[in-house]
Amino acid sequence: MKLDQAAQRLLAAWAEISDLSAVAEVLRWDQETMMPPQGLGARAAALATLAGLRHAKLADPALLEAVTTCREEAAEGSELAAQASRAWRDLVRASHLPERLMRELAEVEATGMATWQEARQKADFALYRPALEHMIRLKREQAAALAPLLAADGTLYDALLDEFEPGAREAELAPLFAELRRELAPLVRGVIDAGAPVDESVVEGVYPVERQLAFGRELATAIGFDFEAGRIDHSTHPFCTAFGPGDVRLTWRWEEGDFRPGLFGILHETGHGLYEQGLPAAWQRTPLGPAVSLGVHESQSRLWENLVGRSRGFWHFALPRLHHHLPASAGLTVETLWPALHTVRPSLIRVEADEATYNLHVAVRFDLERRLFAGELEAGDLPAAWDEAYEQALGIRPPNAALGVLQDVHWSLGAFGYFPTYTLGTLAASQLFAAAGEALGDLEAAFSRGEFLPLLGWLRDHVHTHGSRFETSELLLEATGAKLSTQPFLSYLRQTVRDVYGV
C-alpha cells in the first residue's frame, strides 16, 4: 500500500471509530441526565452493540495494514507518524481483546450502575455483590488478555491503569502514594491537634437552585467556557463529557443550604470542559484529537476548581456576583469566606473531602485495587478491607456501606485503575499552575480584576492544543520543565494550612 493511500485509510477509519465513541457518549450522557428508569434495558443493549461495532472497526485487518504502513514509512517526527503511533496503541490493545468481552463489559457497565445505585440507597452491599463479582471477573479477564503487552515486571493492574493513564505503572505510583501518606498524615493530625475548627456556619443560608445555577454559569463564562459550544444539566454524579470541541456537556448537583458544593462542582467540570473546548479542531476525529489522559484531564479541573476558584484573588472578583445572585450570602466577606474554602477535616466521602485529605481517600482505593488484581482480595472482602483502610488512613470508620465501600460509582462501571488519575491530576495541577504563574506574573492580582484569559491561554498553548500528541510525562516536562512531583502540591497545601490554621 502506498503511504498516502494508507494515511487516507487510517484517517477515514478513525473518523468512524471516533463517531461511534461520540454516539456512545451521547447515550451515556442521556442515561445520566434524562433517561427514565425503564429505559435501562434497551440502553444497555444499544451501548453493547456500539461497543461491538467500534471494536470490530479497531480490529479490522485493513486498518492494521494501513497503520503499519504509516508507522514504517511516515517521516520521523511528522504529524502522520504521530497519528499512526497513537492509533497503534489502541489497535494493539483491541487486537488482544475479544469482541465478546467488549460487548459484555459495555452491557454490564450500563446495568451494574443501576444495581449499585439501589444498593447504595439501601446501604446493602449484599445486593450489589453479584454484579461486582461479575465485573471483577470480566476486568481480570481483560487484564489477563492484555498481559502480553506489559513490561516484564508489569502487573495485571498495570494493564487496567494503562486504559486511563497510558504508561502509568503500579510500581511507580506506589512510592508516590506512600510519600503523600507520609506527608499528609502529620499535616492533618496537626490541624486536628490545633483544635481550632473553622467556622463554616458563615456560608449557611437558603440558596435557590436556579440562582445558584445563574451564578455558576456567570463564573464558568468568566473563566472562558463557551456556552455556544456546551451546556450544563443536572445529574446525580456530576461529570463532563464531549462529542467534539463544539459540544461539551457539563453536569452538576446542588445543596440548597450551602452554595459551595454546587459552585465548586461547576468550576471543576468547567475545568474539564475548557480542556475539551480547547482541543485542536483540526485533529477532531483523528487519533491525536482527544485529551492525553485522565490524569491530565483532572489537572485541568482541579486547577480551576482549587487553585483558581479557592484563591483570594478569585473571590475579590466573584464575591459581588455571589451577593447579587444569592442575597443570603450578603454577610460574607473574602476574609470570612476564605477559611471555609480550605477546611481540613477527615471525612468518609471522597467527593466531599477537602484538599488535604482527598488524596488519602484515593490512596485507600489504589491499595484495594492493587490487592484485588494481585488476587489478594475478592469482592466479598471489600467492605471489611475498606473500613480497615479508612481507620488506618483517616482515623475514622464508616458506620455503613453507603458511607463506605458503596460510595463510588467507578467499580460498577468497570473503572478499576481510574482513581489514581485523581491524584496524578492534583499533583500536575499544582505544577502547571506554578509554571503558569512564573510565565504570567501575579495571577491572583489578575483574577481579582476578572482576568482569567491569560491563564487559559497559557493552558491552551501548553496543554490543550497538543491533543494527545505527547504522553503525559513529555507534556509536563515541556510545560513545566520538570517531571511530575509532589512538591508543588505539598508546598501549596502547607502554605494554605498555615494561613487558615496557623500550623
Phi, psi dihedral angles at 232 (to 5 degrees): -130, 135
- In the bound state with Zn ion, the residue whose beta carbon lies nearer, of 301 and 486, is 301
- In the bound state with Zn ion, the residue whose beta carbon lies nearer, of 207 and 418, is 418
How far, CA to CA in Å, does 434 sit from each of 340, 455, 481? 23, 11, 11
- In the bound state with Zn ion, the residue whose beta carbon lies nearer, of 69 and 301, is 301
Q: Which stretch binds Zn ion (CB under 5 A): 60-68, 140-148, 221-229, 296-304?
A: 296-304
**How many CB atoms lie under 10 A from the CB of residue 400?**
15
Coil/strand/helix, residue 251: strand
Tell me if 301 contacts Zn ion by CB under 5 A.
Answer: yes
What's the closest the beta carbon of residue 28 comes to Zn ion, in angstroms?
16
Residues 382-411 that bind Zn ion (CB under 5 A): none
Q: Which stretch binds Zn ion (CB under 5 A): 172-180, 278-286, 295-303, 367-375?
A: 295-303
- In the bound state with Zn ion, the residue whose beta carbon lies nearer, of 301 and 359, is 301
- In the bound state with Zn ion, the residue whose beta carbon lies nearer, of 125 and 275, is 275
What's the closest the beta carbon of residue 411 comes to Zn ion, in angstroms?
17
Scan for cell 427514565, then name that residue: 36
Distance CA 50, CA 361 (A): 34
Q: Which stretch binds Zn ion (CB under 5 A): 13-21, 149-157, 298-306, 487-495?
A: 298-306
Locate 336 and state its grid cell. 470570612
Among residues 161, 128, 170, the alpha carbon closest in space to that of 405 is found at 128
Locate 12 and state its grid cell. 477515514
What's the closest the beta carbon of residue 19 comes to Zn ion, in angstroms?
25
Q: Which of 32, 163, 269, 276 is catalytic?
A: 269
Task: Label each residue of 181-247 as H, E or C.
Answer: HHHHHHHHHHHHHHCCCCCHHHHCCCCCHHHHHHHHHHHHHHCCCCHHHEEEEECCCCCEEECCCCC
Coil/strand/helix, residue 63: helix
Alpha helices, H only, 96-202: 99-122, 125-146, 156-164, 170-194
Tell me if 18 contacts Zn ion by CB under 5 A.
Answer: no
Q: Which stretch binds Zn ion (CB under 5 A): 44-52, 230-238, 257-265, 299-307?
A: 299-307
Scan for cell 428508569, then name that residue: 37
Tell me if 299 contacts Zn ion by CB under 5 A.
Answer: no
Residue nearest to Zn ion (CB): 301
Locate 129 and state its grid cell. 455483590
Phi, psi dihedral angles at 328 (to 5 degrees): -65, -10
- In the bound state with Zn ion, the residue whose beta carbon lies nearer, of 212 and 301, is 301
| Active-site residue, 269 included | yes
What's the closest the beta carbon of residue 338 comes to Zn ion, in angstroms?
23
What's the closest the beta carbon of residue 262 comes to Zn ion, in angstroms?
15
Per-residue x/- mask for Zn ion, residues 252 to 291, rule CB under 5 A? ----------------------------------------
List residues binding Zn ion (CB under 5 A).
301
Catalytic residues: 269
